[in-house]
Structure 1
Amino acid sequence: MSDLALVTGATSGIGRAFAERLAADGYDLIITGRRRERLDEFVAAHPEVKVRPVVADLSTDAGIDEVAEICATEPLTMLVNNAGVAHYMPLADLPAEKAREIVKVKVLAPTMITRAAVPGMLERHQGTIVNVAGMIAFSGPAPSEVMPRRVVYGGTLAYLVTMSQTLSAELEGTGVRVQVVCPGVVATEFHERQGLDLSFLPRMSAPDVVTASLRGLELGEVVCAPGVEDPTLLDRVFAAELAAFGGQSTELATRYRTN
């Protein structure tokens, strides 16, 4: 039986590149997206593998539940939580429905879909989960002049990093691997849909992001940063986080005490 992968947001960009690479590697696929014509186009272009298209809007409870049910019942070898939306604007200007959409697509959907997939992977003693985040996850300490500010979007990506690291530790020794891939600016339709023209910027290709992710899995990386040449930069970030976590006390810190 062929390996089976499910890729969300597979109709363009990084999701499409993941689906293309996995099809080339012989995976059968379940691909999800909002646009039926894009899904059907992918199916027609890949007669060499079995491809099941699923139209699902992961900003809705119904869409999330439909994909989660598939993950709970199909023998997935790999799950790629890629679907995304951005809405770059200050929090005070962000309409409530757009804030809700970001959180559902980048937090609730990957959480519930992963939750549904993990038990079967544990039972089969194998599986790979890849969450697609971005280097914006590490941009929280940036000063105010760094724009655009992407409060909700950045927060959701940081969630995916911590979720992936924690889940990887939870599943250690089970045969189930977890990775979060954090690219920088990538040449996809993603920014164009936000009305942003980034064609003047150097950008990584979506296939290169996939290459980094798959190689990162071979290297045992939980956090894959395709454009970061020196991996010790990330090691130092995480070491500092653990130092802060371990440095806490039940006593009130001196700087908070009044005379």
Structure 2
Amino acid sequence: MSKLALVTGATSGIGRAFAERLAADGYDLVIVGRRAERLAEFAAAHPEVAVRTVAADLSTPEGIGAVAEICAAEPLTMLVNNAGVAHYMPLAELPAEKAAELVSVKVLAPTMLTRAAVGGMQARGEGTIINVAGMIAFGGPAPHAQMPRRAVYGGSLAYLVAMSQTLSAELEGTGVTVQVVCPGVVATEFHERQGLDLSMVPRMSAADVVTASLRGLDLGETVCAPGVENAHLLDEVFNADLAAFGAQGPDLATRYRNA
């Protein structure tokens, strides 16, 4: 049986690297992006697999709806929610339209596309959902001097981590696997489009991010951090999360009782 993957943000960077790798692995593809000419270029370069191109803007209800319809109708083996925008700036300086675009692309679109795809995957007893987030999801406690403020961007990536972990548990035993990939700085056009020059910063390749993700699936990782050598650090974070979650009680904590 043929394998079918839908990849968003497939015109460059990590999305393009996913599409390249999956085509090499024999997947037929549905590739989604804003730039129709780049989608057509990719399809023409990969005649060995069936490639359907979908020009859609996932910051709009129409774009999300069109791609969600495909996710619901097609027998997807894999869904890669990769599309993204950065808009790095403090919240007070972030224009309303850019805040809405960011939340639509990194929160609403992955949610609605996953919702559309997961029912069919469950019915077929197999499927993989990969959400592309980033290590900034874990950077919330960092002081200003260490990390520039980008509250909406960081919050959207943290949402993808929490959603992926919770959905993975929800789908246990169904044959459907969920993973969230959290790379650090990657050598793509992503930062350049925001006017950021990171050419002197050590960066991972997009191909290596994809390698980590696919190997992470083999290892059973729900959270894949391609640049973190010591995986026990992630275990410690999540164990601490669960410890705090399990330690809650119905009584007001002592520290809040003494004014």
Q: Which amino acid aligns with 1:76?
A: L
Distance in 2 (alpha carbons) for counterparts of 1:24 and 1:147: 37
1:205 and 2:205 are equivalent in the alignment: yes
Q: Which amino acid aligns with 1:221?
A: E
Distance in 2 (alpha carbons) for counterparts of 1:153 and 1:124: 34
- 1:164-203 alignment to 2 at 5 Å? 164-203=164-203
Distance in 1 (alpha carbons) for counterparts of 2:70 and 2:185: 31
Distance in 1 (alpha carbons) for counterparts of 2:144 and 2:36: 41
Task: Name the residue aligned to 1:83.
Answer: 83
Distance in 2 (alpha carbons) for counterparts of 1:238 and 1:258: 31
- 1:15-34 alignment to 2 at 5 Å? 15-34=15-34
Task: Name the residue aligned to 1:96.
Answer: 96
Which 4+ runs in 1 deviate beyond 3 A? none
Q: Which amino acid aligns with 2:97?
A: E
Distance in 1 (alpha carbons) for counterparts of 2:248 and 2:29: 46
| CA deviation after TM superposition for structure 1 residue 225, in Å | 0.2
Distance in 2 (alpha carbons) for counterparts of 1:144 and 1:256: 27
Q: Which amino acid aligns with 1:160?
A: L
| CA deviation after TM superposition for structure 1 residue 147, in Å | 3.2
Distance in 1 (alpha carbons) for counterparts of 2:78 and 2:118: 10
Superposition TM-score, scaled by structure 1 size:
0.99
Q: Which amino acid aligns with 1:26?
A: G
- When the two structures are aligned, how many residues end up with a matched partner? 259
Q: Which amino acid aligns with 2:256?
A: Y
Superposition TM-score, scaled by structure 2 size:
0.99
Task: Name the residue aligned to 1:3.
Answer: 3
| CA deviation after TM superposition for structure 1 residue 2, in Å | 1.2
Q: Deviations over 1:85-119 (max 9, x none)?
A: 01001110000000000000000000000000000
Unaligned runs of 5+ in 2: none
| CA deviation after TM superposition for structure 1 residue 146, in Å | 2.1
- 1:92-171 alignment to 2 at 5 Å? 92-171=92-171
Q: Deviations over 1:2-54 (max 9, x none)?
A: 10000000000000000000000000000000000000000000000000000
- Secondary structure of the 1:212 match is helix
CA RMSD of aligned residues (A): 0.6
| CA deviation after TM superposition for structure 1 residue 133, in Å | 0.2
- Secondary structure of the 1:145 match is coil
Task: Name the residue aligned to 1:232.
Answer: 232
Q: Which amino acid aligns with 1:237?
A: V
1:74 and 2:81 are equivalent in the alignment: no
Q: Which amino acid aligns with 1:44?
A: A
Unaligned runs of 5+ in 1: none
Q: Which amino acid aligns with 1:230?
A: N
Q: Which amino acid aligns with 2:126?
A: Q
| CA deviation after TM superposition for structure 1 residue 258, in Å | 2.9
Distance in 2 (alpha carbons) for counterparts of 1:33 and 1:149: 28
Task: Name the residue aligned to 1:246.
Answer: 246
Distance in 2 (alpha carbons) for counterparts of 1:111 and 1:71: 12
Distance in 2 (alpha carbons) for counterparts of 1:223 and 1:15: 18
Distance in 2 (alpha carbons) for counterparts of 1:150 and 1:53: 32
